[in-house]
Amino acid sequence: MSKTGEQIQLARLKQNLSTKDLAKKVGLTANYIEDIETGKKIINESIANRIFKALGVSTNVLSQEAMAKVHEPKPAPKPVIPKKVEHHSIDHAPSWNKALDNIIRKYPVYNAHTKKHVEDRTIPTLDTKVEGYHCDKITFIQVFDNTMSRFNILEDDVLMLFLTQDITNDKIYYFEYENRPYIRKLRKESNKKISLYSDEVTTTIDQDKIKLIGKVVKLERKMD
């Protein structure tokens, strides 16, 4: 376990939060939080600070607590008594579980409007990719209205997003404008303007006024 992972786990347990609870707070997956805590993933300072902020604690306090834990006096070792060597069968289950983690990922699905967790998706991965995109660069949202029905996107559809800040003309994106979430087809215009297309209206605004979240790369629809 890395020092940062130990600090995060210590702070999370102190607040009686599960990895899933913490993941919701910071917009990551529970598996990702578990990998951080166990040292499987090394995170940068920005992500670490985001997690510590969500936990409502100071990194300095965490460091002091972790160091105090490290320097706690250890009990004297017990004398070693030779034991009869016994032969046991090897349990391969942990190895299989680790292998499955590398080929199957569980993703939460969030309502695109309320951003509340509504369900989960279990997705197979191939060489750390899902549908050709890196598994850490995708997320899933549930459509909250029918303003994009002309583009075959209906309420309650589940969209897979590729997290990106780049705009490709005539592709559909999930973004925020004036603190409200939207799903729209985008087209870059001259003078740093961008056109937003929906069933209702086409609007042109300044490109720097939207907060781009991701590009729609796949649609799933429940069939009644």
For residue 55, give its domain range.
3-70
The per-residue pLDDT for 124 is 87
Domain co-membership, 114 together with 59: no
Cα dihedral 21→118→123→91 (10° resolution)? 40
The per-residue pLDDT for 205 is 94
Using CA atoms, how far apart are residues 84 and 103, in angstroms rounded to an integer? Answer: 41
The per-residue pLDDT for 100 is 56
Domain co-membership, 23 together with 63: yes
The per-residue pLDDT for 4 is 80
The verdict on residue 155 lying in a domain is yes
Domain co-membership, 135 together with 57: no
Strand partners, 107: 121
Is the pLDDT at 69 greater than 50, yes or no?
no
What CATH number should be reported for the domain holding residue 48? 1.10.260.40
- What's the predicted TM-score (pTM) here? 0.55
Which 3-state string (H, E, C) describes 145-192? CCCCHHHCCCCCCEEEEEECCCCCCCEEEEEEECCEEEEEEEEECCCC
The verdict on residue 154 lying in a domain is yes
Contacting residues for 85 by C-beta, under 8 A, at least 6 apart: none
Task: Classify burial at 121, counting beta carbons within 10 Å of its beta carbon; exposed 0-12, middle 13-18, buried 19 or more.
Answer: middle
Nearest to 192 by CA among 206, 202, 203, 204: 206
Of 128 and 82, more confident: 128
Query: Tens digits of per-residue pLDDT, 72-105?
Result: 445 656 767 666 656 555 555 555 555 555 688 8
Using CA atoms, how far apart are residues 135 and 108, in angstroms rounded to an integer? Answer: 13
Across the chain, mean pLDDT equals 83
Of 67 and 76, more confident: 76
% of the chain residues with pLDDT over 90: 45
Query: Tens digits of per-residue pLDDT, 10-57?
Result: 888 988 889 899 889 888 899 998 988 888 888 888 888 888 888 887
What CATH number should be reported for the domain holding residue 132? 2.10.109.10
Q: What is the DSSP string of 130-149?
A: ETTEEGGGEEEEE---STTG
Task: Say if residues 153 and 198 touch (Cβ distance below 8 Å).
Answer: no
Name the pLDDT band for 223 (thresholds 50, 70, 90).
Answer: confident
